[in-house]
Amino acid sequence: MIKNIVFDIGNVLAGFAWQEFYLSFGFSEDIYEKLTKATIKSAFWNELDRGVLNDDELLEGFIRNDPSIEKEIREVFQSVEKMITRYDYAIPWVKELKDRGCGIYVISNFSHKAYIECADALDFLKETDGAILSFQEKLIKPMPEIYQLLTKRYGLKAQECVFIDDTAKNVDAAVKEGMKGIVFHTLEQVKTELEEMLTF
């Protein structure tokens, strides 16, 4: 029986709108592609979420990936406030599930910088029963330890949890730890799959 819903944040309870954010600076297509490769799509991005380096160290790491766009990298990462966007459905959805008796938790790869600068888009966190954020724990999905930490910290049984994430490998990792899993494609699709689990 499912008693607890465990959510990812990005593109589930809030938008991870990095493409729109980068494009808002008006860069050329060439610069946009270089910027994407040097930051979001670089292996170094995980270090941002893992919280093991400070902001200056992360910035220097991105610049080392492509020194030719140092100016643009510094411009983008001066403030990431608009990289995370608020989903109006998040709080009503969370409250609806809580009213049905579900425990609501979060496991998310999230950076300290985004947590501070995008706080307005994360207003749903106050409605949850607990959260594991990667930068605080120095763990990232899909490491098994991050799922184990959630169940241990909050006294949950994995088989009573369903994990919802927009990335299949993160859901697969949760399933390996004994949870049920749903890959988020659309809100309607997830609600349908979740309802089947909750009424089974």
Per-residue pLDDT of 60-73, as tens digits, reads 999 999 999 999 99
Query: What is the model's pLDDT at position 53?
Result: 85
- Residue 200 above 60 pLDDT? no
Positions of E strands within 69-179: 84-86, 103-108, 130-133, 161-165
| Cβ pair 7, 106 in contact under 8 A | yes
Q: pLDDT of 113-139, one tens digit each?
A: 999 999 999 999 999 999 999 999 999
Q: pLDDT of 58-107, one tens digit each?
A: 899 999 999 999 999 999 999 999 999 999 999 999 999 999 999 999 99
Query: What is the model's pLDDT at position 43?
Result: 84
Instruction: Tell which residue, 112, 122, 118, has the closest CA to residue 90.
Output: 122
Instruction: Tell which residue, 81, 90, 161, 167, has the closest CA to residue 119.
Output: 81
Helices (H), 39-132: 45-50, 55-65, 70-76, 90-99, 112-117
| Cβ pair 182, 194 in contact under 8 A | yes
Please name each of the domains of the chain with its CATH number: 4-15+86-198 (3.40.50.1000), 16-82 (no CATH)
Identify the weakest region by mean pLDDT among 21-35, 52-66, 94-108, 162-176: 52-66
